[in-house]
Amino acid sequence: MNVYEAIMQRRTIRKFKQEPIDRDILIKLIDCARVAAYGANMQPLKFAVIDDAAMLKDIYPLTKWAGALADGAPREGERPVAYIAVLCDKNIRPNGAAEVEVGAAVTTMMLEAEEMGLATCWLGAIQRDKIKQVLKLAPKLDVLYLLALGYPMQKSRMVEMTGGDVKYYESEDGTINVPKRSLDEVIVTL
Ligand SMILES: Cc1cc2nc3c(=O)[nH]c(=O)nc-3n(C[C@H](O)[C@H](O)[C@H](O)COP(=O)(O)O)c2cc1C
């Protein structure tokens, strides 16, 4: 798979096989995020692997899934088998603002995950302070986002957007359909 294929194929997946992911693979993803582009090369992000059963159980209730679907959250037996928590080190970036850096880092991890046959869901609707407590993080580390991971147990595909409706939806066979704006719509001709 080349980078273009990974970019085009990657879709958010919210149901995962209950097959563990090797630690080495999770560390490789963090290594990819480590070398992403960072504004002023500050590199304020830190990463924590969450993959033990007790912690996975504590983290799940602090997440929200698939706002556009009536019933899109993973049930027991479908939940992520790992998360990578994306943290901001306030000793490096005192105001904790690293949204742009998170974008680059998480995207890098998602694309490498795609190459390795893993599925991901970037989670922003999370209870950050409670997650910080569960992870027993040092005060200088703030939780910014979670990347949920597992081997895919769901299909998702891009579809043409009609009438400007951005809402993703589920087909009868359980496939998720994600409307994307057309190339014509996003290119501003000068
Ligand atoms: C910043 C950000 C936060 C997100 N937060 C959530 C979330 O909390 N829960 C969820 O189910 N999906 C979340 N998503 C996934 C989006 O819903 C998904 O990327 C979008 O519907 C487009 O689908 P695609 O990733 O398959 O292209 C988030 C994505 C981004 C970029």
The set of residues, in sequence order, having a beta carbon less than 8 Å from that of 129 and lying 6+ positions away, is 143
131 lines ligand 1 (CB under 6 A): no
Domain shared by 103 and 22, yes or no: yes
Domain shared by 41 and 127, yes or no: yes
- Cβ of 144: how many Cβ atoms within 10 Å? 23
Residue from 83, 85, 72, 78 nearest 156 by CA: 72
Domain shared by 86 and 168, yes or no: no
pLDDT at 94: 84
Which residue, by CA, sits nearest to atom 17 of ligand 1? Answer: 66
Domain shared by 76 and 34, yes or no: yes
Domain shared by 170 and 121, yes or no: no
Task: Give the CATH number, domain containing residue 168.
Answer: 2.20.180.10
Calpha distance 75→130 (Å, rounded)? 21
Domain shared by 38 and 92, yes or no: yes
Domain shared by 162 and 144, yes or no: no
Task: Give the CATH number, domain containing residue 13.
Answer: 3.40.109.10
Looking at the 3D structure of the chain, how many domains does it have? 2
Distances (CA, A) of 13 to 42, 115, 172: 31, 15, 17
Q: What is the pLDDT along the chain (190 residues), one digit of tens a residue?
A: 999 999 999 999 999 999 999 999 999 999 999 999 999 999 999 999 999 999 999 999 999 999 999 999 999 999 999 999 999 999 999 887 799 999 999 999 999 999 999 999 999 999 999 999 999 999 999 999 999 999 999 999 999 999 999 999 999 999 999 999 999 999 999 9
| For ligand 1, mutation pick of 7, 8, 12 (most atoms within 8 Å of CB) | 12
154 lines ligand 1 (CB under 6 A): no
Domain shared by 141 and 159, yes or no: no
73 lines ligand 1 (CB under 6 A): no
Which is the closest atom of ligand 1 to the Cα of 176?
26
pLDDT at 68: 93
12 lines ligand 1 (CB under 6 A): yes
Domain shared by 38 and 112, yes or no: yes
Domain shared by 53 and 101, yes or no: yes
Look up the domain containing 49 and give its range: 3-154
